[in-house]
Chains A and B, each alone.
Chain A
Amino acid sequence: MSEPTPILIENGRLIDPSQNVDRPARLLLRRGRVEAIDPGDDEIPLYCHRIDAAGCIVAPGLVDLGAEFREPGREEDETIQSGGAAAVAGGYTSVLCLANTDPPIDTPAGVELVRRIAQAAAGPRLHVVACLSEGRRGEQMAQLGLLAEAGAVAFSDSPRPTGNSALIKSALDYCRMFDIPIFDRPVDPDLVNRGVMHEGCVSLVLGLAGLPTEAEDLAVARDVRLAEATGGRLHVGPVSTMGSVDLIRRVKSRGIRVTASVCPQNLWQTDEMLRSFDSRFKVHPPLRSARHVEMLCQAVADGTIDAIQSGHMPRSREKKMNDFDQAPFGASTLETSLAVVATRLVHSELMSWSAAIERMSTAPAAIAGIEGGSLAIGSPADVAIIDPDEVWTVDSEAFLSNCQTSPHDGEEVRGRVIYTIVAGEVRYTRRPALEHLAISGN
């Protein structure tokens, strides 16, 4: 592959939580890496692309801890190509994709297949979260060592919860050999039965079966206790309840190595949305009541919750068109995550831009143990350029994702990705294509 043309990003506000930087700066990308911050004029190559980032934030590209790309086998929902296009449109430069494909990714060959397709797709860097259990059946461990060798960065049966406590304990124990985290979507399957929405006053009135908060709390309690007992690396998420926040806060204060994440929609919308019976609000974790939403926002702001993940669960329109009980959980969220976080947390002054980028880039990269999440010199040239003040209206029909179902459809949001650069290449831009091609020269 030929070396990409160097890129100089000028006039922007550089925010890099990994270096604790938030100031105007020029950024030079070369040979797929960050070459210099504030290079002198003599360091700038004669031939390079210049991007004018005036009024914009220049940040390390976002890192998603768990999106579903559904390929192979469920391409009607999403492909690696379409999901990748959605990801870069959302500012993501690295995505961990989940193993709920058909067949599920539980072999080294499966990991290899996904990586190869991703290389051709020219989207974000794709990393594989391989199955925790053989066939995602929740019974026996998958071949975790071989999967790790093949490049899997984490193990999970998500979005299927791991009901089997013995399995998750063994996996946490076993994975200490590879220093690879187990991701668990905390749900006690015995307590959810046919639940389709948050259990509370709204579900009571609507007559819809509830997903009780204690189903999540119990699973988090079990998971963190097993992490403590084994010393294994555990990431719980996405979480959605006050009870989870409370448990995570307590185990962290005792120095146990546990991390947690939350989805943007759970930081904004409440179960009141379900009164429309519109299946675009049937997401997982479910939209909870206002008290939970408030508490989750606080927990993200104070760092109890380490990361924000898209929770991208694409499902085809014909599936979502079903009645509310039959329609699957899921929505397309990669293209709205940043705007939702900006609108809900940053513009409301609950947290700074720097903290928001830390939760969506630096922290998830560290949890996954992958490169990215930093613009320090020598880091991968994975950059998101964000207009913090552009106001726009979410229109799922315009999504690049195959799944055009969004819980935020029609909402006005503030903050938008203008450029996404992966390995020094512009993979997404909202500006006219040639504008950034201004060639420098004296």
Chain B
Amino acid sequence: MATSEPGATDTASLTFPPPWNRRHLLDLESLSVEEITTLLDTADKLKTLTDGCRRKVSLLGGRTLANLFFENSTRTRNSFSLAAKRLGADTVEFSSSGSSVSKGETFVDTAKTIQAMGVDWVVTRHSTPGTPHLLARELQCSVLSAGDGAHEHPTQGLLDMLTIRQHRGSLAGLTVALVGDIAHSRTARSNMWGLRKLGAHVIVCGPATLVSPRWTELGFEVAHSLDEILDRCDVLNLLRIQFERFQSRPFPSVHEYANRYAMNGQRMRRCKSDILIMAPGPINRGVEITPEVADGPHSVILEQVTNGIAVRMAALWLLAGAEQGASSNYE
């Protein structure tokens, strides 16, 4: 599907990692344009090298990734596990239910225990923003955020950007709308920082109760009507309404929401002919997206899933290099 073909086809081009100094991947807000580009370039190369993320290459044999999830997840957790396995690393799973966390241990102690078992990367998801940052201060191994509350979900932002870049070659000058529950979305925040750094124009669109006017002060375009922005957009990223996070309902009914914001066949006809439809999933069919759009020719939702493995392989590989120093040989 990729329109930009990465050049590398063998491991030789990967034995010397590109310049990379970070030990952790916690958010996209703090990454530079060069760092994000390096991550995306590396993801493209690894995707090619693993034959579209399907084949195993033993770049990181003998290393171990620990999934430490304090919130439910299947796709992100499995995506990280697969990324590690495709690179030849081992994985170990911890979840908050059934482990020491449910016995009253603090999450820092849990993470330190896991580290003491000799892991190289801790992948963590938590409902509280900043938790990966706290772990990064406490642990010696690499910490990767798999989402912290409504703060960021950096690998999701990267995989969304990678998907767009594969179709358009570049993000510069594109108009990308993030539609839906911006208030509670870590995916939105990671996309906003990453896309803007790479030159895209970002619109956040949704009900006024879920899209703060303060985003304008931070330099993003705010819209409350999907219909008014449709014809300007190159990409629509349809975010799930996170019903589980509401204290009081931010809109009167799902019916009213879908009426204003659901991407359906009728709205598709008013879009640019080459528009990309994305969704981070899980999708609520009939709420933010109708089946004909989700399964239609403009949808790249399943490519996003494959690219998730690619960016996670890239992140693991680059962070491992930062830990070892640039001259390490991983073969």
Q: A-side binding surface: helix, strand, loop or mixed?
A: loop
Chain A residue contacts of B229, Cβ below 8 A: none
Q: Contacts of B148 on A, CB cut-off 8 Å?
A: 207
Interface residues of A in 263-297 (CB under 8 A from B): 276-277
User: Of residues 286 to 329 in A, which have CB atoms within 8 Å of B's CB atoms?
Assistant: 318, 321-326
| CB within 8 Å for A204 and B186 given contacts A323-B126, A323-B128, A325-B128 | no
Q: Does B107 contact A (CB under 8 A)?
A: yes
When C-beta atoms are compared, the residue in chain A nearest to B107 turns out to be A323
Q: Which of A200, A208, A321 is in CB contact (< 8 Å) with B129?
A: A208
Partner of A324, one of B130, B189, B212, B214: B130
Are B134 and A323 touching (Cβ within 8 A)? yes
Residues of A within 8 A of B152 (CB): 207
Chain A residues with Cβ under 8 A from B217's Cβ? 201
* Contact-residue size bin, chain B (C-beta under 8 Å from the other chain): 20 to 34
Q: How distant is the Cα of A115 from the Cα of B72 in the complex, in angstroms?
A: 50
How many chain A residues touch B (Cβ–Cβ < 8 Å)? Answer: 18
Interface check B22, CB cutoff 8 A: no
A203 to chain B, nearest CB (A): 9
- Within the complex, the shortest CB–CB distance from B218 to chain A, in Å, comes to 6
**Which residues of the other chain, A, contact B116 by a CB distance below 8 angstroms?**
none
Contact B130–A277 (Cβ < 8 Å): yes
B106 and A321 contacting across the interface, CB-CB below 8 Å: yes
| Shortest Cβ distance from residue B212 to the other chain A in the assembled complex, whole angstroms | 6
In the complex, which residues of chain B have a beta carbon less than 8 angstroms from the beta carbon of A276? 133
Contact status B212-A207, CB under 8 Å: no
B151 interfacial by beta-carbon distance below 8 Å: yes
The closest CB in chain A to the CB of B247 belongs to A193
A73 to B263, CA, bound (A): 57
Known: A206-B151, A276-B133, A325-B129. 20 other contacts (CB 8 A): A193-B247, A200-B214, A201-B217, A205-B189, A206-B130, A207-B129, A207-B148, A207-B150, A207-B151, A207-B152, A207-B184, A208-B151, A277-B129, A277-B131, A277-B134, A318-B106, A321-B106, A322-B106, A324-B130, A325-B127
**Interfacial residues, chain A to chain B (CB-CB below 8 A):** 193-194, 200-201, 204-208, 276-277, 318, 321-326
List 11 contacting pairs A-B, 8 Å CB cutoff, sorted by A.
A201-B214, A204-B215, A207-B129, A207-B150, A208-B151, A321-B108, A323-B107, A323-B126, A324-B128, A325-B128, A325-B149
Q: 5 nearest interchain CB pairs?
A: A277-B130, A207-B150, A207-B151, A323-B128, A325-B128
